[in-house]
Amino acid sequence: MAEVSAARSVPADPYPVRFPVVALIASAGGLAALTRVLAPLPADLPAAVLIVLHQDPRRESELATILARSTALSVELADDGTVMRPGQVLVVPAGRHLLVTAEARVGLIDAGALPPARPSADLLLATLAVTCGARALAVILTGMGHDGEAGVRAIAHCGGTVLAQDAATSKYHSMPAAAIATRHVQAVLPADEIGPAIVAHVRSH
């Protein structure tokens, strides 16, 4: 019986989401940081933006409404099955975790009692990593704890990029510090420099 040698076909780019996606991760002190980061982003930003801010699910959140006042981008509260698109900001609802799917959609799952943090940055970033690869950009902003640390490792493993807010402009630096400690953060920046860095990054991808 003759031997048959068959080369396995490997796609050049196995990641299904075909445009850049930016995940902004924040906790305590995060509203001010998110506002400063979003302000310089143009309406024609060639990337989708996902926002995780740890919130108390027992209180009604006005986060999407508040952030919409500070950016030229379209801002809406994420719903289960929402399709991501460039120039759009999706805010993760309080008490839900957000997943990114291969169809460039987001999925929402109910969060249990703390811990883990909710919405979970680690869950979001892990799914973002495996669907976006090098098109994923994670930005870890002010916050307490270490949510996002494992997600940063996932982003780096799949070829994505990570930025972190510096200590001087963070109200609480625990979350950025945990990300930085992974040694997978490409740049540590003041809050006002993160927006321009996002624009430069996504326009090169």
Active-site residue set: 27, 54, 147
d(CA 139, CA 185): 9
Identify residue 111 by its one-letter amino acid code: A
Question: Sign of the CA dihedral 148, 188, 156, 159?
Answer: positive
Q: Are the CB atoms for 148 and 122 separated by under 8 Å?
A: yes
Judging by beta carbons within 10 Å of its beta carbon (0-12, 13-18, 19+), is residue 107 exposed, middle or buried?
A: middle
Cβ-based burial of 110 (10 A; exposed 0-12, middle 13-18, buried ≥19) = exposed
DSSP characters over 128-196? HHHHHGGGEEEEE-S-SS-TTHHHHHHHHHTT-EEEEE-TTT-S--HHHHHHHHTT--SEEE-HHHHHH
Cα–Cα distance for residue pair 38/159, rounded to 1 Å: 24
